[in-house]
Structures are given as C-alpha cells and as structure tokens.
Structure 1
Amino acid sequence: MGIRRILAAVFATAALAGLGLTGAATATAATAQGAPSYVTPSQCRDGGGTPAINEMGNYCKGGTHNGEQVD
C-alpha cells in the first residue's frame, strides 16, 4: 500500500510539472510574436530589397523583408 501512495505522488508531481512546462512554453511563444524583426543589410538585399540605412528607422525597402528594421 505504501508503494501505491508513492507512485500516486510521483504521477501527480509529473502531471503538475508537465502543466507548468506547457504554460511556460505558451507564454514564451506569445511574447515572441510581438518582438520586432531585424535583418542584416545583406539579408535585405538577398530578399530583393534595399537597406535604407541612412534614413530614419533604418528599414528594408521592398523585397521579402519589406518594413523590417535593418540592424
């Protein structure tokens, strides 16, 4: 009977730990969605755009990275 209690405690702890990890992963994914996107000047050019480094905001103009900030 003692073994059953120990196993029940182990399973309960594992279940709670699993829920905690799932919640943390969801929170991380939600935070990452709103993060700004940065590309290098070469990535901007490779995507068919022009890095507007000297203009305010340093954005990539045109191509697949249009509107992303150049870093």
Structure 2
Amino acid sequence: MGTRRILAAVIATAALAGLGLTGAATATAQGAPSYVTPSECRQGGGTPAINEAGNYCKGGMHDGQRVD
C-alpha cells in the first residue's frame, strides 16, 4: 500500500513539474520583444508599414509586430 502512495506522489510531482516548465516557456516567449524584419513581414503575408507611425507589420502572421 505504501508503494502505491509513493508511486502516485512521484507521478503527480512529474506532472506538475511538466506543467511548470510549459508555463515558464510560454511566459518567456510572451515577454520577448516582438520585432520582425521587413522581409519576415512580407514572407508572413503582411506589408511593412515603415513610413507610418510605429513601423508595424500590417496583415499576415506578423500583424501588429514592430518592423525593425
């Protein structure tokens, strides 16, 4: 009976550790600055609006990201 409890605790700990690593990776990705090059903007289907305020990519998969 004690072995089952230990095994259950190990499995629960591993599952929670996996969730923690996933959350940390997501937080890191969201905290990174969101810059793309003009060519990356075009390749993603957007149009770099370099002459407009903010220099953003319009449309495509990089929509709203700053163009640098």
TM-score, scaled to structure 2: 0.59
**Is 1:27 the equivalent of 2:24?**
yes
Of 12, 16, 29, the residue aligned with 2:13 is 16
Query: What fraction of aligned residue pairs are identical, expressed as a percent?
Result: 36
Q: Which blocks of at least 5 consecutive residues in structure 2 are unaligned?
A: none
Q: Which position in structure 1 is the counterpart of 2:48?
A: 49
The RMSD of aligned alpha carbons is 2.6
**Gaps (5+ residues) in structure 1?**
53-58
Aligned residues: 61
Deviating runs (4+, > 6 A) in structure 1?
none
Change (3 A) 1:51 1:12: same
Compared with structure 1, are the counterparts of its residues 30 and 66 closer, same or farther at alpha carbon in structure 2 (3 Å cutoff)?
closer
The 1-side partners of 2:33 and 2:5 are apart by 45
Distance 1:47 1:36, change over 3 A: same
Equivalent in the alignment of 1:55: none
What is the TM-score with the length of structure 1 in the denominator? 0.57
Instruction: Map Cα deviations across residues 14-60 of structure 1 (whole Å, 9 max, x no partner).
Output: 001111111111111111101122434334233122567xxxxxx85
